[in-house]
């Protein structure tokens, strides 16, 4: 990707009606924007329209600061939910971890390779184990141990850390604590979790043992936005792998780690490239 | 496969101990049998041993009729569950269907190509829709309509049909009736069902709609032995396919049909080639 | 799909420039068409634009017969290659077969289920084996045996049959004859073949034996448009399956048949739903 | 795995004949070994037998140092090629790299997690880029730059390094130099390479560009033993992923990296667990 290029991405959903694509693409065209990518979807059953439009800001006649004001009347007319993103405003991502390093390693390695357009201003953990890995990548590491008693206070500290670091996306990279409903409410569709099963199968704890005991022939991993209902949030990405009776629980965990790394990385990529719209508890993913 | 060749297949499971492979393979060798395929598995956690041994009966010094008597003392010593099968005693398979033809078509077509070593002495349905398809393949078709009132009587008729046709395996090829616990008890690990979801996700009715509403990114199909607990029987085979928000419920059904056909056919093949041992509610599949 | 609904689909490719999406969607909107689906792609390296636009003709202010004339000036200005299709003008598909029935069965079965929006006015074969299957589906069957001597004459007859039946798409459903370059030239991007390997691996004859001998761990199937260069035509769809040393050549053929059926059916569906643009020897597939 | 446990693994191939499984398992049993895993395969077409037997050395009545002498007469009688491995004699693996780190990172990370039973006494590279990564893992790093002139001398140095470090397996983790036929001859079936395509498709250089230009819908990666014929060595493992016209060459490279990492790691695991027999230019993989 040409890094100097400024690209605007509009995500929008509204009740379906005639002329939506035309009027939105015309909005860009009449301001001299070149549409690089446009993807739209109509859920015919729900009568709902979804669109992602990406255009080159080079030569665009409207300043970036005036764009929101210009879109608002159109969006209001359409009764739309929408958001606008710019390619040079990279997502500020906080990584929350516990003891297992595989998801953290994966994200840091891909980040180093330039696969994500993100900054990682901090890593937070309820354990100290992964501090050296954070140090290797020169990322500030915060140790916030959690007990039943200290949880509210520690969540308040976490909130302060995130706000101070101007974080907009939180990734639970195998963070083994359940965030409170109050905390989650403040970060709607901005906390990404990796669950180590093919949801809705084997929700809850120890899914690999559940899978082993049930004798399934396929296991999976699921990345989803976190909601107050555990393991019920909108699914962003899933992947599976075949297993057999030869696989013990440790084998399932090993194979599962590979799935978790891949699925969480894909979900983070989709989210930070503004490819996901959440609507009625599920996602539209423009990939 | 050379059809004239007689192959014996032993399936056996017992508590693990030293010398099992050696003594079982020696049993075959000292009677001049040539082992064509041997696959074994030890569930270290459960301390349980599983084996499938296939050998050529050509030159075997023991008559087929004396084989069971010869194995029994060994199996008793090992406290084993076991069964023996011969390649020329093909499974007699009854197909139970309702209105949808895709699974029936698939099995009949593969049968015609010689992919299964089975006979199909009858097709039974609670509807008449698929009688012409049965006729095309010259297979007797029995119409047993079912209501709440007639169910016990019709199950008794079904039982008679199966017994009279010397059926040993029943395939529910999208048969939309629930068989009674009493009926199922008489056919343990001999009724194969296809469930149109990736179990244990979306058990119950209308799984494609459930999947659509949950917004999963992958759907599946599961073939399993039927037990009294609906959708809880030992899983024989599963397969999945990726979906996206672009897939409507009819699209999911279309994609699901392809999975169902494939998964049911694979399960039937595994079962009729004596590749499946059931133990503690799950399967060991020697494929 | 609502069968009464008339949907127009425009496929268009041209050099990339500003305003293409806007002007094309505006073309539809100003004539009161409701865009149901729009998918576009820019090949940044080649500087080329591709689009598929589907809109509801209900309420469209321009008659279908005047549409071509109305689009032409726009397309000329864009230096575009383009085509327009209507949902009620179903493709007329000829199926060419030899002796193997699996691909033919698959297409006929899906056709019967309504998965394709096509008519099948005829089946042509160089053998008589599949005449009964054609008869079962009440489709005229033509036997055109081919030898080196009779090939030109038989191709001429084939051409007449296709023209008389107003065929627009030819499917080689395991047709084991090579069509002449002259014949192929008259049906550019309208003959769909299934090759039983993952092209470009194992082009040529007996790919399953080649795969067995090379010891690959994955086999595939490829559906492509036929060009004068055998096995070099634009690829529409591919799929693969894992294999192991346990698979003999007949096993590979059996597994391969499942791939071939699936891949050819998908390719036919994509083609007949006007989802494929061919450009520079490869395809853009809007699925 | 219980690390204190000593497990012996026998890999053996010979012409097929009666009694092979029985006599080999009896060999273990009569010396009080408990067979943990036995997998065998007969290539009926080639008339060749392959077996992997793993047994617990606990209570085995024969000393490890006397095992080779005891097996030799049996193997000679069978005209077998064979090898024996012990679980506590971990493979000594040298990693050869150039500038790209993804395969190296993956192996080091999995090694750190204990996924491989290996030691890594050294990393060798023709560039200095990855020295810091080696240092992080406290593994000696040797820089051996290569030009056409220095190649023979540097290969001699490489050979010395490997011998001095008692290396038995060499992994080319995206090492961008071609080893000489003479060097390769000394390391038969002990050098593992990762090729960034689904061989035999797109052998040679820049396979992702080749794949892009051909418009394939699936890309792959292949891990194989290195032979003098480039890209023609016995294939150990392959994996693929779907792509579309939306994927540019850099996208293919990104997706390809994920395949390469996975496939090379799997191949190394299979090799170091003594699960691979090479015969007639292809592999039997007991997984």
Quick count: other Cβ atoms within 10 Å of Cβ C227? Answer: 19
End-to-end CA distance of chain D: 17
* Per-residue pLDDT, D205: 85
CB B136 within 8 Å of CB B155: no
- For C41, which of D214, D239, D246 is closest by C-beta distance? D246
Which of A102, A136, A258 has the CB atom closest to D262's CB atom? A258
Q: What pLDDT score does B182 carry?
A: 95
DSSP collapsed to 3 states, D175-244: CCCCCCHHHHHCCCCCEEEEECCCCCCCCCCCHHHHHHHHCCCEEEEEEEECCCCCCCCCEEEEEEEECC
Q: How far is A193 from chain D (nearest CA, A)?
A: 21
C23 contact residues in A (CB cutoff 8 A): 29
Give every CB contact of residue D63 below 8 A, 6+ residues apart in sequence.
Answer: none
Per annotation, catalytic residue among B16, B43, B101, B231 = B231
Q: Is the pLDDT confidence value at C1 over 60? A: no
**Phi-psi region at C48: left, alpha or beta (left = phi > 0; alpha = psi -120 to 50):** beta
Distance CA C176, CA B115 (A): 23
Q: ∠D280-D236-A211 over CA atoms, to 5°?
A: 135
In this prediction, residue C92 carries a pLDDT of 98
Minimal-distance CA residue of chain C relative to B259? C262
Find the closest chain A residue to D254 by CA distance: A115
Nearest Cα of chain B lies from the Cα of A21 at a distance, in angstroms, of: 17
- Cβ within 8 Å, pair B20-D35: yes
- Secondary structure class of D66 (helix, strand, coil): helix
Which chain C residues have a beta carbon less than 8 Å from that of D215?
234-235, 281-283
pLDDT at B4: 65
Q: How far apart are CA D235 and CA C219, in angstroms?
A: 13
Spatial CA neighbour of A260 closest among A176, A149, A179, A164 = A176
The token duo for A211 is: 């899978």
Average pLDDT for residues C268-272, to the nearest whole number? 97
* Cα B236 from Cα B192, distance rounded (Å): 9
- Cα distances (angstroms) measured from residue D65 to each of A29, B166, D62, D68: 80, 58, 8, 7
- Cβ-in-10-Å burial (0-12, 13-18, 19+) of B69 comes to exposed
Contact check, Cβ <8 Å, A248/B44: yes
Tens digits of pLDDT across chain A (287 residues): 455 679 999 999 999 998 899 899 889 988 988 888 899 999 988 999 999 999 999 889 999 999 999 999 999 999 999 999 999 899 999 999 999 999 999 999 999 989 999 999 999 999 999 999 999 999 999 999 999 999 999 999 999 999 999 999 999 999 999 999 999 999 999 999 999 998 888 988 899 999 999 999 999 999 999 999 888 899 999 999 999 999 999 999 999 999 999 999 999 999 999 999 999 999 999 98
| pLDDT value of residue A1 | 45
Under a CB-based contact definition with an 8 Å cutoff, are residues A197 and A220 in contact?
yes
Name residues whose C-beta falls within 8 Å of residue B219's C-beta, 6 or more positions apart in sequence.
Answer: B197, B198, B208, B211, B240, B241, B243, B252, B255, B256, B259
Q: What's the confidence (pLDDT) of residue D121?
A: 98
Chain C residues within 8 A of D218 when measuring between CB atoms: 198, 220, 238-240
Residue B21, min C-alpha distance to chain D (Å): 7
Of A115, A254, A262, the CB nearest to D115: A254
Q: How far is the C-alpha of D102 from the C-alpha of B227, rounded, in Å?
A: 48
Chain B residue with minimum CA distance to D21: B25
Looking at the DSSP bridge assignments, the partners of residue D192 are D171, D225
CA of A170, closest CA in chain B: separation in Å? Answer: 22
Closest C-chain CA to A27: C22
Task: Tell me whether residues A258 and D254 touch, CB distance under 8 A.
Answer: no
Per-residue pLDDT tens listing for chain B (287 residues)? 455 679 999 999 999 998 899 899 889 988 988 888 899 999 988 999 999 999 999 889 999 999 999 999 999 999 999 999 999 899 999 999 999 999 999 999 999 989 999 999 999 999 999 999 999 999 999 999 999 999 999 999 999 999 999 999 999 999 999 999 999 999 999 999 999 998 888 988 899 999 999 999 999 999 999 999 888 899 999 999 999 999 999 999 999 999 999 999 999 999 999 999 999 999 999 98
Mean pLDDT value of segment C171-182: 96
Cα separations (Å) of C282 from B156, C123, C274, C277, D217? 60, 28, 16, 8, 10
Residues from chain C that touch A39, judged by Cβ atoms under 8 A, are: 39
* Residues D249, C45: C-beta atoms closer than 8 Å: yes
Element (H or E) spanning B207, and its range? Answer: helix B207-214
Q: Taking CB atoms and an 8 Å limit, are A248 and B45 in contact across chains?
A: yes
Res D1: pLDDT: 45
* ipTM value for the complex: 0.93
| Whether C231 is catalytic | yes
User: Which chain B residues touch A234 with a CB distance below 8 Å?
Assistant: 215
Burial of D196 (0-12, 13-18, 19+ CB in 10 A): buried
Grouping H, G, I as helix, E, B as strand and the rest as coil, residue C56 is: strand
CA pair distance B4, A214, nearest whole angstrom: 39
Which of A22, A34, A40 is nearest residue C26 as measured by Cβ atoms? A22
CA gap D244, D286 in Å, rounded: 34
- Edge-to-edge strand list for the sheet holding B191-195: B141-143, B118-125, B91-97, B169-172, B191-195, B218-225, B235-242
Q: Which of A39, A231, A251, A258 is catalytic?
A: A231
Q: List residues of A whose CB lies inside 8 A of any B CB.
A: 41, 43-45, 50, 198-202, 213-218, 220, 234-235, 237-240, 244-246, 248-249, 281-285, 287
Test A29 with C40 for CB contact under 8 angstroms.
no
Collect all residues of chain B within an 8 Å Cβ-Cβ radius of residue A200.
201-202, 214, 216
Cα-based distances in Å from D153 to A158, D63, D183 = 58, 43, 12
Binary contact (A282, B213; C-beta < 8 A): yes
pLDDT in tens, A199-227: 888 988 899 999 999 999 999 999 999 99
- Give the per-residue pLDDT at D4: 65
Judged by average pLDDT, the poorest of A198-207, B161-170, C104-113, C117-126 is: A198-207
Q: Closest Cα of chain B to A177: distance in Å?
A: 24
Parallel/antiparallel/unpaired status of strands A276-279 and A282-285: antiparallel
From C50, C200, C218, residue closest to D240, measured CB to CB: C218
What are the residue ranges in chain D where pLDDT is below 70?
Answer: 1-4
The residue among D1, D35, D61 with the most chain B CBs within 10 A of its CB, best to mutate, is D35
Q: Which of A198, A201, A215 is the closest to B281 by Cβ?
A: A215
Neighbouring chains of D at 3+ CB pairs within 8 Å? A, B, C
């Amino acid at each position: 990707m040409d890094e100097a290029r400024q690209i605007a991405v509009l995500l929008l959903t509204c009740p379906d009606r005639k002329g939506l694509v035309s009027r939105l693409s015309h909005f860009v065209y009449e301001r001299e924007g070149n549409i690089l990518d446009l993807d739209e979807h109509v859920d015919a059953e729900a009568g709902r329209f979804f669109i992602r439009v990406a255009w080159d800001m080079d030569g665009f006649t409207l300043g970036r600061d005036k764009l929101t004001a210009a879109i608002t009347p159109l969006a209001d007319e359409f009764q739309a939910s929408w958001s606008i993103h710019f390619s040079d405003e990279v997502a500020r991502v906080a990584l929350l971890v516990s003891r297992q390093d595989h998801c953290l390693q994966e994200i840091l390695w891909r980040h180093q390779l330039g696969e994500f357009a993100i900054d990682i201003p901090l890593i937070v953990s309820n354990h100290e184990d992964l501090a050296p890995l954070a140090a290797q990548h020169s990322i500030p590491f915060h140790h916030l141990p959690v007990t039943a008693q200290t949880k509210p206070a520690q969540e308040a500290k976490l909130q302060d850390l995130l706000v101070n670091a101007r974080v907009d996306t939180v990734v639970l990279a195998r963070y083994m604590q359940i965030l409170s409903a109050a905390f989650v409410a403040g970060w709607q569709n901005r906390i990404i979790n990796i669950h180590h099963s093919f949801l809705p199968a084997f929700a809850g704890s120890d899914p690999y043992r559940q899978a082993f005991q049930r004798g399934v022939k396929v296991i999976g991993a699921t990345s989803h936005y976190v909601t107050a209902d555990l393991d019920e949030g909108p699914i962003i990405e899933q992947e599976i792998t075949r297993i057999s009776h030869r696989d013990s629980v440790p084998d399932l965990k090993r194979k599962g780690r590979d799935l978790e790394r891949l699925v969480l990385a894909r979900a983070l990529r989709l989210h930070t490239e503004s490819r996901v719209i959440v609507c009625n508890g599920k996602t539209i993913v423009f990939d």
